[in-house]
């Protein structure tokens, strides 16, 4: 039996979270690749946004949010600056953000994960919760992309394949 | 600057992960509640499983998996034992599992989260990765439930409301 008090037990290290997130990002990349070019930008179900728009949202959160956290900059959320029209453009930006995420994530200290930060001047939560939100939001929207692919008669990538 | 080596930085405590998961489970419960009775069991998009079947999968993983981890029992995954036919039955079981999850999760030590376990005799990963998988899989399938609701012309609960 460990004698560590329950509220101080570590669940995972920050490196493990980053690897977990980048594994999810690899899978999301494969889902982007799976879409036919036209349907990526035009197809949706139930009046929702096409998958490319959901991906632009993800791109506008991950890297910019981490940069905001590290620089303690509370500038508002903005997805207006990036308007891709091709799958290649979307994938290039996705890959650029992979590096941005690695660079900024590595600059967050253990103490900082527990500190409250007003992300985008709007989402005031402990930093670890903000980061979990980025990952969860990606899984949520990618799950919707899976339905779009199925509705198109296509087989999505395996959910458990990450690297 | 912290002097903690990067690979030993804590991202979050186990209590924080449990609270995070139960927050997601609250949201999933609200999504179950949102479905009309008939559509919960019959409606789907693109030949996928109806939302009730996805929820039976989630119920067959969370509690049983944690019990397996705590008792080091590698018995196979099984969702045959629970065949709900009403929303009320599904919600009752969901609430029962909330307690099962709390009980078993609290018995996992910090060291154990890092140990490899062959979950259900099939998924051999560190315990923390197995647990993240349960949460991610729930978000993934619930995101699909959101599309079903939208396709039914209904407004899903807010993704960010957890408690």
What are the boundaries of each domain within chain A? 13-75+84-151
d(CA A37, CA A55): 14
Chain B residues whose CB is inside 8 A of the A9 CB are: 13-15, 109-110, 113
pLDDT tens track for A52-65? 999 999 999 999 99
Mean pLDDT of chain A: 95
What confidence score (pLDDT) does residue B7 get? Answer: 56
Residue A140 has pLDDT above 60, yes or no: yes
What confidence score (pLDDT) does residue B8 get? Answer: 81
Best residue of B8, B9, B23, B28 to probe chain A, by most A CBs closer than 10 Å:
B9
Q: Would the CB atoms of A151 and B2 count as touching at under 8 Å?
A: no
Q: Would the CB atoms of A109 and B10 count as touching at under 8 Å?
A: no
**Shortest Cα–Cα distance, B45 to chain A (Å):** 6
Which residue in B159, B150, B158, B160 sits closest to B35, CA to CA? B150
What confidence score (pLDDT) does residue B1 get? Answer: 43
Residue A8 has pLDDT above 90, yes or no: no
CB nearest A132 (choices: B20, B47, B144): B20
Residue A3 has pLDDT above 60, yes or no: no
Chain B residues whose CB is inside 8 A of the A48 CB are: 147, 150
pLDDT confidence tier of residue A7, bands split at 50, 70 and 90: low
Range in A85-94, A139-148, B4-13, B83-92 with the lowest mean pLDDT: B4-13
Residue carrying structure tokens 């990606």: A138
| Residues contributing to the annotated binding site of B for a divalent metal cation | 141
CB A142 within 8 A of CB A28: yes
Beta bridge partners of B126: B116
Which residue in B145, B108, B140, B143 sits closest to B127, CA to CA? B108
A5 and B CB contact within 8 Å:
no
Beta bridge partners of B123: B119
d(CA B98, CA B95): 5
**Shortest Cα–Cα distance, B85 to chain A (Å):** 24
CB B87 within 8 A of CB B40: yes
What confidence score (pLDDT) does residue A57 get? Answer: 98
SS3 content of chain B, % helix, strand, coil (to 5): 60, 5, 30
Q: Taking residues A139-152, what's their average pLDDT?
A: 98
Enumerate residues 6+ apart whose C-beta is below 8 A from A110. Answer: A14, B2, B4, B9, B10
Q: Would the CB atoms of A150 and B20 count as touching at under 8 Å?
A: no
Measured CA to CA in angstroms, residue A18 lies from A11, A103, B47, B122 at distances of 14, 11, 34, 25
Enumerate residues 6+ apart whose C-beta is below 8 A from B100. Answer: B62, B63, B66, B67
Residue A1 has pLDDT above 50, yes or no: no
Q: Domain A13-75+84-151: what homologous superfamily?
A: dinb family like domain (1.20.120.450)
Task: Report the chain B residue with the minimal C-alpha distance to residue A155.
Answer: B46
**Which residues in chain B (17-56) have CB-CB distances under 8 A to chain A?**
17, 20, 24, 45-48
Residue A121: DSSP 8-state: T
What confidence score (pLDDT) does residue B4 get? Answer: 45
**Which residues in chain B (69-128) have CB-CB distances under 8 A to chain A?**
106, 109-111, 113, 128
Q: Taking residues A122-132, what's their average pLDDT?
A: 97
d(CA B160, CA B24): 9
pLDDT tens track for A31-49? 999 999 999 999 999 999 9
Which residues of chain B have a pLDDT value below 50? 1-6
pLDDT tens track for B107-141? 999 999 999 999 999 999 999 999 999 999 999 99
Quick one: what percent of chain A has pLDDT higher than 70? 96
Residue carrying structure tokens 């930093």: A127
d(CA A135, CA A21): 6
ipTM for this model: 0.95
CB B45 within 8 A of CB A37: no
* C-beta atoms surrounding B28 within 10 Å: 21
d(CA B53, CA B41): 7
What confidence score (pLDDT) does residue A10 get? Answer: 97
Residue A153 has pLDDT above 60, yes or no: yes
Task: Report the chain A residue with the minimal C-alpha distance to residue B146.
Answer: A144
Chain B residues whose CB is inside 8 A of the A142 CB are: 140, 143
**Shortest Cα–Cα distance, A55 to chain B (Å):** 15
Q: Would the CB atoms of A16 and B11 count as touching at under 8 Å?
A: yes
Q: Would the CB atoms of A133 and B10 count as touching at under 8 Å?
A: no
Enumerate residues 6+ apart whose C-beta is below 8 A from A150. Answer: A156, B45, B46, B47, B48
Q: Domain B19-151: what homologous superfamily?
A: dinb family like domain (1.20.120.450)
Best residue of A3, A5, A6, A12 to probe chain B, by most B CBs closer than 10 Å:
A12
């Amino acid at each position: 039996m460990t004698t560590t008090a329950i509220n101080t037990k570590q669940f995972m290290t920050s490196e493990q979270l980053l690897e977990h997130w980048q594994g999810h990002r690899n899978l999301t990349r494969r889902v982007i690749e799976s879409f036919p070019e036209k349907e990526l930008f035009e197809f949706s179900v139930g009046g929702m946004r096409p998958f490319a728009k959901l991906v632009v949202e993800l791109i506008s959160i991950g890297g910019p949010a981490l940069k905001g956290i590290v620089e303690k900059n509370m500038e508002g959320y903005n997805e207006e600056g990036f308007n891709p029209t091709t799958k290649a453009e979307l994938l290039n930006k996705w890959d650029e953000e992979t590096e941005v995420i690695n660079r900024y994530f590595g600059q967050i200290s253990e103490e900082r994960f527990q500190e409250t930060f007003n992300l985008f001047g709007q989402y005031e939560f402990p930093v670890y919760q903000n980061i979990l939100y980025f990952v969860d939001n990606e899984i949520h929207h990618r799950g919707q992309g899976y339905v779009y692919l199925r509705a198109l008669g296509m087989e999505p990538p395996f959910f458990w394949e990450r690297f």
